[in-house]
Structure 1
């Protein structure tokens, strides 16, 4: 039996919607989460697509996500939008603010969206990809509960604290999307390795005693390591200040676990939106040519290299069997 299930895009969307609604999510929350999940499955890391949806479904059911939130949006400054997700998913608050954000950045050339009081943000690249699809440059940062040490042997003080950047490359190309954790790897990669019974590379994580480990089960009981030592830890701190600091959300040290308990992690998210010059500046075309030139030099351009474009609407989606079966149980049992 294959470890993956191939679904038509419409089948995957319908199954995911039924599972979200059965788990208790409001239709608006379900719609936002399914859209983000499909985007991650098509263009992002596969682990942040349907496998991560299982975390959301469990969290709807167990009370870590408010099922029927009413996010609020305020304008602290002319180009500074502040959202309170009301304990719901981050994607819903962002979706509700999206038109205001894009109108603001087109007027001022730059705009900031910052949000607190949400569940973990999921694939961070989704937020800047949405902006890039509108011809807008984006930078995003978020935090969550502590999963990473600043140095080997030290206590966990940061989450994986990812940062994402998106730059549109025109209608004839996918946008450049950089989405990476401050840790040596994403937490979901440790979870996937543990579930599949395979080892992890040295330098990814430490066990509960602070010793380097290649056993993902021991890593889950321990902590992740930052990429590049102190430099990676500094990036994590930068992300912490952009997300929790700017939004007013909880620091990673004060954030509840997003996979257990019945309390919202209430994390912070900040998205900076920027126009790539005026329409006649040719900045997008210039970036497109530079990305092509880099690829000719053998450089991997994230979001573009190795990706099919355009994607056929009839192209199926591969869903890990374990995630598919869990989502099916949610959809069937209600």
Structure 2
């Protein structure tokens, strides 16, 4: 028996929708989450596709996510959107404001969307990838509950505090998408390693006593380390200010866990949308040529390298068997 299941895209979408609805999510919430999940499965880290959806399904059923929220959005400045996700998923609030955000960016050259009171943002690359699809440069930042120490032996003070960036490369090309945590690795990678009984590299995490560990299970009881020591911790602080600071959401120190309990994490998300120069500037084509030059020199260009485009309609998506079985149980199929 293989450890992976192959699903057609339509099968994955149908399974994810049925699971979300069966877990109690409303139609609009389910649609937004499934769209973001499929985006991660096709273009993002595999762990943030269906595997991360299991966290959402558990949270729908255990009360950490408002299954049928009514997000609100105010516009205190012409190009500044302030949203409240009403305890729902971050993707829904963003999706509802998306058209206005794009219009504002095209009108003013730059626009900002900031949101609080949501569940974890999921794959952060989803938000900037959507903007790149409209020919717009995007920058996003978010936080969650504290699980990263500023230095080994210290207390957990930050979340993995990821930041994502996307630059469109024009029609017929995938955009550059950089999506990475401020920690040495993403939390979902620790969870996956612990579930599979794999060790983790030195420098990723510490155990409960604050000592470096390569045991993923002990890392879950301890904390993650920032990448690059103090420099990574500074990036985590910057992301914290952009997400929790700008949105008014809770700091990671005050944020409930997104995997246990019944309280919403209620975290922040900030997305900055920027036009790539003047409409006649040719900067997208210039960036496209630069990405090509880098690839010719053996450079890995995130979001582009190793990803087929366009994706074949008959492409099969790989899903870990344990994840497929967990989602299928919730879907009742």
Normalising by structure 2, report the TM-score.
0.99
Matched residues in 2 for 1:293 and 1:257: separation? 43
Secondary structure of the residue aligned to 1:74 is strand
Q: CA deviation at 1:279?
A: 2.2
Q: How many residues align?
A: 333
Q: Residue 14 of structure 2 aligns with which residue?
A: 14
The answer to whether 1:108 aligns with 2:108 is: yes
Query: Which residue pairs with 2:2 in the alignment?
Result: 2
Match of 2:26 in 1: 26
How do residues 290-309 of structure 1 correspond to structure 2 at under 5 angstroms?
A: 290-309=290-309
**Aligned position for 1:244:** 244
Instruction: Work out the CA distance in 2 between the residues paired with 1:180 and 1:15.
Output: 28
Alignment of 1:77-92 (within 5 A): 77-92=77-92
Q: Give how far 1:172 is off.
A: 2.3
Cα displacement string for residues 248-273 of structure 1 (whole angstroms, at most 9, x for unaligned residues): 00000000000000010000000000
Corresponding residue SS for 1:192: helix
1:126 aligns with 2:126: yes
Match of 1:94 in 2: 94
Offset at residue 316 of structure 1 (A): 1.3
1:217 is paired with a residue of what secondary structure?
helix
Q: Hey, which bits of structure 1, 4+ residues long, moved more than 6 A? A: none
> For residue 286 of structure 1, what is the aligned residue in structure 2?
286
**1:169 alignment partner in structure 2:** 169
Instruction: Tell me the CA shift for residue 313 of structure 1.
Output: 1.9
Q: Distance in 2 between matches of 1:76 and 1:191?
A: 40
CA distance in 2, matches of 1:276, 1:127: 17
- 2:222 aligns to what? 222
CA shift at 1:317, angstroms?
0.9
In structure 2, how many angstroms separate the alpha carbons of the residues matched to 1:43 and 1:278?
28
**Residues 294-333 of structure 1: matches in 2 within 5 Å?**
294-332=294-332
Q: Which residue is 1:62 aligned to?
A: 62
Give per-residue Cα distances to partners, 1:126-179, cap 9 Å, x unaligned: 000000000000000000000100000000000000000000001121000000
Q: Over the residues paired in the alignment, what is the CA RMSD in angstroms?
A: 0.6
Which stretch of the first structure deviates more once superposed, 153-162 or 315-324?
A: 315-324
Structure 1 unaligned runs (5+)?
A: none
Residues in 1 aligned to 2:296 and 2:306: alpha-carbon distance in whole angstroms: 13
Distance 1:310 1:302 in 2: 16
Deviation at 1:278, TM superposition (A): 2.2
Q: State how far apart, in whole Å, the 1-side matches of 2:55 and 2:76 are.
A: 33
The SS at the match of 2:280 is helix
> Within 2, Cα distance between the matches of 1:203 and 1:133?
36
**How far apart are the structure 2 equivalents of 1:279 and 1:298?**
31
